[in-house]
């Protein structure tokens, strides 16, 4: 009898555990690979989301890039840093499994971008 009482709790735990990877308002993580095309260059980054503190790295065209920033609910703020160029900032919002935002810096003045989770 006791085993039957634990079954709903076990099923709820499994369901909620499967929801950890959602990328939507109220989600828990931006962990993973993200990509976009910006001014004809392929950009991909690997992000790690530690309770809203974002860190990562990747490639922006032929340049290596490091990423740092934060997530507050569905809003995302990232700074892309290069070895030989000025940083580029992204102000965006999580929409479904995408980060929809605008880029500022290094000649970009609010250019729209959409990063998609790979």
DSSP-assigned letters across all residues of 4-16 = HHHHHHHHHHHHH
Evaluate the CA torsion angle 22, 23, 26, 27 in order and state its sign: positive
Per-residue pLDDT of the chain (118 residues; tens, 9 = 90+): 455 555 555 455 544 444 444 444 444 589 999 999 999 999 999 999 999 999 999 999 989 999 999 999 999 999 999 998 899 999 999 998 899 999 999 999 999 999 999 8
Size of the chain in residues = 118
pLDDT of residue 8: 58
DSSP 30-80: --EEEEEEETTEEEEEEEEEETTEEEEEEEETTEEEEEEEEEETTEEEEEE
């Amino acid at each position: 009898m006791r085993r039957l009482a634990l079954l709903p709790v076990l099923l709820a735990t499994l369901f909620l555990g499967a929801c950890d990877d959602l990328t939507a308002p109220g989600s828990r993580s931006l962990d993973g690979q993200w990509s976009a095309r910006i001014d004809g260059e392929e950009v991909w980054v690997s992000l790690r989301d530690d309770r809203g503190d974002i860190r990562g790295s990747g490639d922006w065209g032929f340049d290596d890039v490091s990423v740092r920033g934060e997530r507050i609910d569905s809003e995302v703020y990232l700074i892309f840093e290069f070895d030989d160029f000025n940083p580029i900032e992204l102000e965006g919002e999580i929409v479904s499994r995408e980060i929809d935002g605008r880029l500022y810096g290094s000649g970009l003045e609010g250019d729209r971008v959409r990063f998609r989770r790979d």
